[in-house]
Amino acid sequence: MAKGRINVLEEYCKSCGLCVEACPVKVLRISDHINSKGYRPVEQFKEGCIACKMCATMCPDAAIEVYKIEEKQ
């Protein structure tokens, strides 16, 4: 399984939760801090991201960047 991580562009996130629901490995959650618009941005709270892009595919605010991690053998 591919390994990855996401970067949340916190200022754009509206805390809608669609990415949290879409993530097949459940590594996302709504954080408890607040952005300048008053929303609590999403965060990746544990390892295990498989770089599937489902979260970014769902995000209405293009607030997620996805990275694939390639481990050197």
Partner 1 sequence: MNEIKIYERPKAWAEGVHTHYCPGCGHGILHRLICEIIDELGIQNDTIGTAPVGCAALMYDYIDVDFCEAAHGRAPALATGIKRTRPDKIVFTYQGDGDLASIGTAEIIHVANRGEKLTTVFINNAIYGMTGGQMAPTTLIGQKATTCPFGRDPELAGYPMRMCEMLATLETPGFITRVSVARPKYIIEAKKAIKKAFQNQIEGKGYSFVEVLSNCPTNWGMTPVQAFEWTESTMIPHYPLGVFKDFK
Residues of this chain that interact with partner 1 (CB under 8 A) are: 4-5, 9, 11-12, 14-18, 21-22, 37, 39, 51, 53-54, 56-62, 64-72
Tell me the DSSP string of 5-63: EEEE-GGG-----HHHHH-TT--EEE-SS--TTS---EEE-SS------HHHHH-TT--
Residue 21 site contact among ligand SF4, partner 1, none (CB < 5 to 8 Å, cut-off depends on kind): partner 1
Contact positions toward ligand SF4, by CB under 6 A?
4, 6, 8, 13-19, 22-23, 25, 27-28, 42, 44, 49-55, 58-59, 61, 63-64, 66
